[in-house]
Amino acid sequence: MRATTPFSTKPGLHYAWVVAFAGASAMICGLGLARFAFGMMLPSMSTSLGLTYGQGGVLGFANMVGYLVAVLLAPIILPRLGTRLTVTFSLLLIALSMFGMALTQSFATLCALYIITGIGSGGVVLPSMSVMSHWFLPSHRGLAAGLVMSGPGFGIILSGFVVPRLVPTFGLQSWQVGWIIFAAISTAIAMLAFALLRNHPVQKAQGPFGRAQDHSTARDALIGRAKLSLLMSMGLIFAIYGAVYMLYVTFIVTSMVDAYGLDPTAAGTAWSSFGFLSIFSGVLFGVISDRVGRRRGLAMAFAVLALSFLLVGTGTDVTALYLSILLFGLAAWSIPVIMAASAGDFFGTAGAANALAALTFAFSGGQAAGPVIAGFFAERSGDFGASYVISGIAAALAIAMSLRLKTPDRGS
């Protein structure tokens, strides 16, 4: 249903859905290739360059450092450039850094370039998610954020299909060929984003899509300490998610190969299966949170994630691994989607970008810490089992924290 505004006069498809499609396309590269393809690349990169588990974790940390830089700069750059230009330039930055990674075998240079990739990734994710608060009302905000977060799933499917089939070409290692292919795709998506993204419904003579509801009273109640307290609590929950999910996506392919004995092709198929399931995870939990409230949506998502981590951490056979991948895929992007919708719901359209930037900063801190800690734990224990179990316990803690949040939808 379209909101009743003086701008919503054009018949046919509301342009909000085009913006959501463009955001999802940008996220294919912004997260799907710029971040999650790394998990597929890591085994071949480690073999070629002689990387240890710890160095693999450091590379993941380097990416998160860049992501943090982007989050810090977003409140300054985004109001000046707008979503359209910020996302376009960020995708081009990702393409350039990927091309650079393909041409080096130096670990230090890889770290530096992967920091730049992280900056580009953050420059895609935050604007693509926060602009949904302009284009969609709360009644459809979770669904819209879920659609945008379907993008990384397509990137994961692509990397899972392409990477195991890469072969050395023109003197380049297979993983270097992969980065060149992904750089070309990122450049093409940058052009698509520039063509389709728009910063605000006014630019299309429309209003935001959704059912008009009066949330002003609930939002106005969140002032001063109450608003800061809610933001800090949500940030801590998001940081926990960042640490545990980044550990999983960084090392699960390595665990498939090293701990479960899967060959690279089988691991790639399992990774693509996860990517396929994750396409629906954001939409699923976005709609759930639209219906039952953001707090309960968070708790339900963390319950699924906790079970996934504990299965792979304590399981001893491939069945437990595949069930873990199934559950993780179903809830993979649930938390970012609910957080993005919550930023608009609880802090207003005008404050959504800044609130989401603060939440993403906490999220990025968790992402940066997770792979490094897990990598060094694995070097001492020989696998990632203990790290997965700790992740399951942390996710269970996040369930209780989510249910205790003092939000305007507390009664829902």
Q: pLDDT tens digits, residue range 85-128?
A: 999 999 999 999 999 999 888 889 999 999 999 999 999 998 99
Give the Cα separation of 308 and 301 in Å (integer).
Answer: 11
Q: Which of 307, 284, 290, 292 is nearest to 388 (CA)?
A: 307
Average pLDDT, the chain: 84
Higher pLDDT, 185 or 61: 185
Tens of pLDDT, residue by residue over 242-285, are 999 888 887 888 888 888 888 878 887 887 788 888 888 989 99
pTM of structure: 0.77
Give the Cα separation of 75 and 138 in Å (integer).
Answer: 23
pLDDT bracket for residue 353 (50, 70, 90) = confident
User: What 3-state class would DSSP assign to 28?
Assistant: helix
**pLDDT beyond 80 at 216:** no
pLDDT in the model for residue 391? 92
pLDDT bracket for residue 221 (50, 70, 90) = very low
pLDDT in the model for residue 409? 58
**Strand partners for 136:** 209
Higher pLDDT, 145 or 373: 145
Q: Span 209-238, mean pLDDT?
A: 70
Query: Does residue 341 contact residue 153 with C-beta atoms inside 8 Å?
Result: no
**pLDDT beyond 50 at 218:** no
pLDDT in the model for residue 9? 41
User: How far is the CA of 65 from the CAs of 24, 33, 59, 68, 231, in angstroms?
Assistant: 23, 17, 10, 5, 22
Sign of CA dihedral 237, 242, 243, 245: positive
The least confident of 13-17, 336-340, 344-348 is: 344-348
pLDDT bracket for residue 197 (50, 70, 90) = very high
Most confident of 22-36, 131-145, 240-254: 22-36
Q: Span 330-358, mean pLDDT?
A: 84
**pLDDT beyond 70 at 312:** yes
pLDDT in the model for residue 91? 97
End-to-end CA distance of the chain: 22
Q: Domain 15-210+218-403 falls in which CATH fold?
A: Growth Hormone; Chain: A; (1.20.1250)
Higher pLDDT, 302 or 355: 302
E-assigned strand segments in 107-234: none
Higher pLDDT, 147 or 344: 147
User: How far is the CA of 392 from the CAs of 227, 247, 284, 307, 310, in angstroms?
Assistant: 29, 11, 21, 7, 5
Q: With both helix axes pointing from N to C terminus, report the angle between 294-314 and 264-292 in degrees, rounded to the nearest 10.
A: 160
pLDDT in the model for residue 152? 87
Q: Percentage of the chain surpassing pLDDT 90?
A: 33
Environment class of 169 (CB within 10 Å of its CB; exposed 0-12, middle 13-18, buried 19+): exposed
Query: Does residue 351 contact residue 254 with C-beta atoms inside 8 Å?
Result: no
Q: Which of 300, 296, 303, 288 is nearest to 395 (CA)?
A: 303
Quick one: three-class SS letters along 199-233?
Answer: CCHHHHCCCCECCCCCCHHHHHCCCHHHHHHHHHH
